[in-house]
Amino acid sequence: MTTLTPQYLAISQQIEQLLVRQNPRGMATLKPHLRPGYILRAARLLNQCRGTVLIGTGFPVLDTFETDGPVGAIGLYKLLEQLGASPIIVCGDPLYSALKADYQCYQISVNQFDALPAIAEAALTELKPQLVISIERPGFNAQQRYANMRGEDISARCASFDYFLTQAPCPTIGIGDGGNEIGMGNLLQAVSALNITPCVTQCDELIVADVSNWAAWGLTAMVSLLRGENRLSDADPLAILQYLSAKGSVDGVTRLNTLTEDGLAHTEGQQLIDDLQLIIK
């Protein structure tokens, strides 16, 4: 712990507020239920990793994947590479096939509900992660099924990542923006008041954001501060969106192949990055 902890905590809280300032899906009402400083605590976990970090992402929409989640996962992947860690994106098809040529990926099977704890245990034993992150991944509801923001059962198109967190022998971070994502089980009572089928799966450190991708930029800002080097300057969400769009991504809200995140223009994410830059100057 450094003598600058109070300053870091104050900046962490600034970032936490920025991440929910638009509040399209009620995350600003969840934030007060979290212990302040979660961006700082999660950033410290990232900053100290030099081994394998698993990043689970991919929320199925129709027969493809949505832009929210993979953009942030790629952002975190690039950050962790710069820090000297070995990130691996864990996902199912079609996202796995879209990313595997350009990123280290680990495939989990879609619509597989047998032996899930054993599958996760075997993967964790093989990969030996120092940290497990879930960003915008569907999480089990009370019926051990997966539901989207419309309440539709999407289990048949989901790969399961829950046990990667609940059985991990290392710290875990969950990132979500609606209440049905892995990690939201930490706030089950508060999430139950929202118009969504809540996830019951928990994590060590939960981060809420208006768009899950944006939490990656908040974490990058905090890591930049901890290291005294700006890792946000080369953040380019538009380029990542263009990359994913070319591979068939859709906006999770509109279900259209556009350069948007949850119905919001890519400029909204860039504005957040610009505002984060001001905080860490």
The overall pTM is greater than 0.75: yes
CA 256 – CA 103 distance, rounded (Å): 25
* Phi, then psi, of 87 in degrees rounded to 5: -80, 145
* Phi, then psi, of 58 in degrees rounded to 5: 110, 105
Per-residue pLDDT tens over the stretch 137-174? 999 999 999 999 889 999 999 999 999 999 999 999 99
Per-residue pLDDT tens over the stretch 61-119? 999 999 999 999 999 999 999 999 999 999 999 999 999 999 999 999 999 989 999 99
* The pair of three-digit structure tokens given for residue 72, joined into one six-digit string: 């942030």
Tell me whether residue 156 is exposed, middle or buried, using C-beta atoms within 10 angstroms of its C-beta: 0 to 12, 13 to 18, 19 or more. Answer: exposed
CA 28 – CA 238 distance, rounded (Å): 25
Confidence band (pLDDT; 50, 70, 90) for 24?
Answer: very high
Element (H, E) at 260: strand 260-261
Whether 1 shows a pLDDT value over 80: the answer reads no
